[in-house]
Amino acid sequence: GSVPAVTLRRFELTDVDAMMEWASDPEAEAVLAFLRDAVLRHQWFRAVCLGVELEPRPVGAVSVTPTDDACRAELCGVATAAVKRAVAAVFGEFPGVVRVEALVDVDNPAARRVLENAGFQREAVLRSYCVRRLMLS
Q: State the pTM of this model.
A: 0.45
122 occurs within a structural domain: no
| Max CA separation in the chain (angstroms) | 43
Query: In the prediction, which pLDDT does 106 show?
Result: 78
100 occurs within a structural domain: yes
CATH code of the domain covering residue 91: 3.40.630.30
**Angle separating helix axes 80-93 and 109-117, nearest 10 degrees:** 50
Could you tell me the residue range of the domain that residue 55 belongs to?
A: 6-117
SS (H, E, C) the chain: CCCCCEEEEECCHHHHHHHHHHHCCCCHHHHHHHHHHHHCCCCCEEEEEECCCCCCEEEEEEEEEECCCCCCEEEECCCHHHHHHHHHHHHHHCCCCCCCEECCCCCCHHHHHHHHHCCCCCCCCCCCCCCCCCCCC
77 occurs within a structural domain: yes
Please give the tally of structural domains in the chain: 1
Stretches where the chain sits below pLDDT 50 are 25, 69-78, 134-137
Query: In the prediction, which pLDDT does 96 show?
Result: 81
Query: In the prediction, which pLDDT does 99 show?
Result: 85
99 occurs within a structural domain: yes
Query: In the prediction, which pLDDT does 115 show?
Result: 86
Quote the distance between the C-alpha of residue 62 and its chain's center.
Answer: 2
